[in-house]
A = this chain, B = another copy of it.
Amino acid sequence: MPEKNSPGQPLVDIQNTRDTRNIAIDKVGVRGVKFPIAVLDRADERQHTIGDFTLTVNLPHHFKGTHMSRFLEVLSEHQKEVSVHGIPKILTALKERLDAESAHLEVAFPFFMKKAAPVTGKAGMMPYDCRFIAEANGSYDMVMEVVVPVTTLCPCSKEISERGAHNQRGYVTVQVRTKDHVWLEELIEMVEASASCGLYPVLKRPDEKWVTERAYDNPRFVEDMVREVAIALDGDERIVSYEIEVENHESIHAHNAYACVKRDKA
Contacts and interface: CB of A to CB of B under 8 A. Distances in A.
A36 B258 contact: no
A88 to B, nearest CB: 22
Interface residues of A, number: 107
A180 interface: no
Contacts of A34: 110, 112, 125, 127, 254-255
A160 to B, nearest CB: 5
Nearest to A231: B21
B50 A110 contact: yes
A47 B36 CA distance: 9
Given A26-B261, A254-B149, A255-B31, A4 B162 contact: yes
A251 B251 contact: yes
A219 to B, nearest CB: 9
Contacts of A258: 27-31, 54, 56
Contact of A166 (B4, B127, B211): B211
Copies held by the complex: 4
A227 B21 contact: yes
Interface stretch (A91-99, A133-141, A201-209): A201-209
Nearest to A37: B48
Q: Which among A76, A204, A205, A216 has the highest number of chain B CB atoms within 10 Å?
A: A205
Given A197-B252, A251-B169, A69 B160 contact: no
Interface in A59-86: 59, 64-66, 68-69, 72-73, 76
Nearest to A162: B213
Nearest to A120: B69
A255 B216 CA distance: 21
Given A25-B226, A221-B65, A226-B25, A254 B209 contact: no
A31 B256 contact: yes
A78 to B, nearest CB: 13
Given A5-B160, A166-B215, 4 more contacts: A33-B255, A65-B156, A65-B221, A169-B254
12 contacts: A14-B155, A21-B231, A27-B259, A28-B258, A32-B255, A34-B125, A73-B124, A156-B205, A160-B208, A166-B211, A169-B250, A251-B251
Interface of A: 1, 3-5, 11-15, 19, 21, 23-36, 47-50, 54, 56, 59, 64-66, 68-69, 72-73, 76, 110, 112, 122-127, 149, 151, 153-169, 197, 199-206, 208-209, 211-213, 215-217, 221-224, 226-227, 230-231, 247, 249-262
